[in-house]
Amino acid sequence: MTYISNKGGVDLHTHTTASDGLLTPAELIKFAKKKSLNAIAITDHDTTEGYAETLENTKDNNNFFIIPGIELNSQFKDEEIHVLGYFIDIENTHLQSILSEMRDSRVTRAKKIVKNLVRIYNFDISYDEVLEKAKKGAISRSHIARVLYDKGKVRNVSEAFNRYLGPKCPAYVERYRLDPKEAIELIKEAGGVAVLAHPGLLNDSSLINIYIKEGIDGIEVYHSKHTDEQTQSFEKIARKKNLIITGGSDCHGDLLNGIPIVGDVRVDTSVVGKLKELSLKRKSEF
Ligand code: AMP
Ligand code: MN
Ligand code: MN
Ligand code: MN
């Protein structure tokens, strides 16, 4: 049922310039079509603007389907846990008001982190330079990492996170806090389907059980950073608990052999029907 191949299928995890992706929605879709995907979900952090932009340019999307999505960050104890939402109603006022609050808090946080980097390391960087990277998108540590890279402070973005931007680094500033239940409920209330993102990136994989208990609908079994072992173990859990199995590349515009990784992880298009069906059921209930 679920497979990874290079023809057809759907990539259920992508980012655009509306958050910390490097490709505009139009560019992302162009590459997705080139890679013969049938569909993608746009799952930007804390914003649906990327998806909204695609609605304005749907004329030549014949047979290519775009799913409205979101990636929310929640927190349990010290661990960051990401939750994906699919087929959310992007006009849901409660959802949009929380998203807007989250984006505002990203601004305050980024300013504080930049201040810390200047104070602690004497770096010659400014918030305006970070803003220039983010353009109008939801600002994130990724944008700060890119500025540090441009200025030659790190050899790559990963090093920026390890040395300066990670939660254990002195310049780190806490983010907007949503607990697991809040993140899941927010998505469900907006008629969406809540999926636990990349559980393989958790330090403590037993946290999956907390999300199952709080009502997660699915697990992102397939992800570009999951090992084969992890994939098998998450698939087992999902089947046992009767959860929807999803997967995606988590493409941020990064390149592999000169091409963005969109579509490098994909699942069968039938998963879209499952997500849609549950979302329709939910929308009729609220
Ligand atoms: P933020 O939402 O501002 O906390 O930034 C988190 C984003 O930074 C994630 O969505 C990832 O895209 C990116 N990120 C986090 N950790 C790393 C890392 N170690 N290397 C590269 N990118 C990372
Ligand atoms: Mn990201
Ligand atoms: Mn994530
Ligand atoms: Mn992501």
- Residue 119 Cα to ligand 4 middle (Å): 30
Q: Percent helix, strand and coil across the chain, each rounded to 5? A: 45, 15, 40
pLDDT band (50, 70, 90) for residue 286: low
pLDDT tens digits, 31-82:
999 999 999 999 999 999 999 999 887 666 668 999 999 999 999 988 999 9
**CB of 143 sitting under 6 A from ligand 1:** no
> In sequence order, what are the beta bridge partners of 248?
223
- 143 backbone dihedrals φ, ψ, rounded to 5°: -70, -40
pLDDT for 3 beyond 50: no
Pairing of strands 39-42, 65-76: parallel
Alpha helices in the chain (DSSP H): 25-34, 49-55, 93-121, 127-134, 141-150, 157-160, 180-189, 207-213, 228-240, 270-285
- Residue 206 Cα to ligand 3 middle (Å): 18
Task: Provide the mean pLDDT of the chain.
Answer: 95
Contact 99, 154 (CB under 8 A): no
**CB of 14 sitting under 6 A from ligand 1:** no
- 256 backbone dihedrals φ, ψ, rounded to 5°: -125, 120
pLDDT for 18 beyond 90: yes
**CB of 141 sitting under 6 A from ligand 1:** yes
Question: By three-state DSSP, how is residue 82 classified?
Answer: strand
**CB of 158 sitting under 6 A from ligand 1:** yes
pLDDT at 5: 59
pLDDT tens digits, 94-142:
999 999 999 999 999 999 999 999 999 999 999 999 999 999 999 999 9
> Which-ligand-closest: CA of 140?
1
Average pLDDT over residues 222-242: 98
* pTM, rounded to two decimals: 0.96
**CB of 133 sitting under 6 A from ligand 1:** no
pLDDT at 149: 98
Which residues are CB-neighbours of 285 under 8 A, at least 6 positions away?
none
Average pLDDT over residues 248-260: 94
pLDDT at 58: 64
pLDDT tens digits, 146-196:
999 999 999 999 999 999 999 999 999 999 989 999 999 999 999 999 999
pLDDT at 2: 44
